[in-house]
Amino acid sequence: MDSKGFSKKIADLRGMIDGTYVPPPRPSFDHRNSALYGGLARASLHCQAVELLPGLELRRSYAYVFAPAMVAFAPPPAPRSAHPAPWHAADGGGIAETVEVEVFLAADARPFALDRLDTVRCVASLIRLLGGAPVCMPILSSQPFNAVPNSKLDTTILSLETVPNWSGRSVSITPDFVERLRHFLGSASVLLQDDDVFRAFSLADGMWWLPSWTAQMLALWTAAETLMRPGRTSVGAKLADSIRSYLGLNRSDGDRLYNEVTRLYFSRGSAAHAGRTPVAADMDASYRIVRGILLRCFADGQRPPERTDIVPLWK
């Protein structure tokens, strides 16, 4: 580094301390037309790369996303300056996620009728739904992650999804998983244009970021009501009857589901009106039921029929 460059570095550091530093403009990143690379954490891919739809791929990759929680003990001397030392790391704080799968959307590719950024988000959401686990997409890049270290181009890496509040197993994206994901992507891109399906899907998908079991329970059963439309009277009984017919594999399984939904909807009422925290088993059972409704909805390519029009699977 020459003396001029060194002097600029010193001046920049002084500016950061006193709050006068003006960072250079960031490179432009037009996600409407540029290639997108979304980093999936808590998932693994069975092969090096696989095409989901034209211009949309999953690829093996690697990136480690981390942000330690730090504590400063004095206010900054100026609004834009740094907090003065000392700083201290907070034990148990911060985030750390390992990205092993890259969702690639080619420049100008629009595989279905969604915004390009929503297309990438939709892939993550459907992997969460199919896997039944809190897979997340913490970062979005303007270049492949494995190309960033040696690239001579300006790279933009954006924070996308915050890390979910709940831990869970990693989802293995196998050939069978990929086939189901392909089908669900086409179906979801159409069904999510229905406002009710979109709201229900968003509630069920967003459950992983809610701070308590009570909030999760309310979100899940609100999603179920939105999809199954039980009306305003005898909601629990009508909801149980609809789900019995919609998800039951046979008459016996349908009767079991009816009793299960009745019990869980009572637990939901206790959480909403009596402040009782649901138990873990009830949360898990509620998620599996709502997940089952969404999976059948996307598999069929249509929202659930009205309660009186549902034909049980065993008939």
| HEC sequence for 164-213 | CCCCCCCEEECHHHHHHHHHHHHHHHHHCCCHHHHHHHHHHHHHHHCCCH
**Higher pLDDT residue, 250 or 93?**
250
Q: Tally Cβ neighbours within 10 Å of residue 98.
A: 15
Least confident piece of the model among 5-19, 32-46, 114-128, 254-268 = 5-19
Kindly list the distances between the CA atom of residue 262 and the CA atoms of 55, 247, 296, in Å, as whole numbers in the listed order. 45, 15, 21
In eight-state DSSP terms, residue 109 is: -
Positive or negative, the CA dihedral 287, 288, 291, 297 is: negative
- Residue 1: pLDDT band (50, 70, 90) is low
**Distance between CA atoms of 266 and 285, rounded to whole angstroms?**
13
CA 2: distance to chain centroid? 47
pLDDT on residue 149: 92
- Residue 12: pLDDT band (50, 70, 90) is confident
pTM metric for this prediction: 0.89
- Average pLDDT rounded to a whole number, residues 40-56: 96
Question: Residues 224, 243: contact at Cβ < 8 Å?
Answer: yes
Tokens of 205: 């998908």
- Average pLDDT rounded to a whole number, residues 50-66: 96
By CB neighbour count within 10 A (0-12 exposed, 13-18 middle, 19+ buried), where does 88 fall? exposed
pLDDT on residue 200: 96
Chain segment 114-163, per-residue pLDDT in tens: 889 999 999 999 999 999 999 999 999 999 999 999 888 888 999 999 98
**Higher pLDDT residue, 23 or 311?**
311
Question: Residues 46, 172: contact at Cβ < 8 Å?
Answer: yes
3-state secondary structure of 52: strand
Q: Map tokens 């196998």 to a residue.
A: 174
Q: Which amino acid is at 110?
A: R
* E-assigned strand segments in the chain: 36-41, 43-45, 49-53, 56-67, 70-72, 87-89, 95-105, 136-141, 157-159, 171-173
Is the confidence at residue 4, as pLDDT, over 80? no
Is the confidence at residue 221, as pLDDT, over 80? yes
**Distance between CA atoms of 239 and 13, rounded to whole angstroms?**
62
Mean pLDDT value across the chain: 92
pLDDT on residue 177: 97
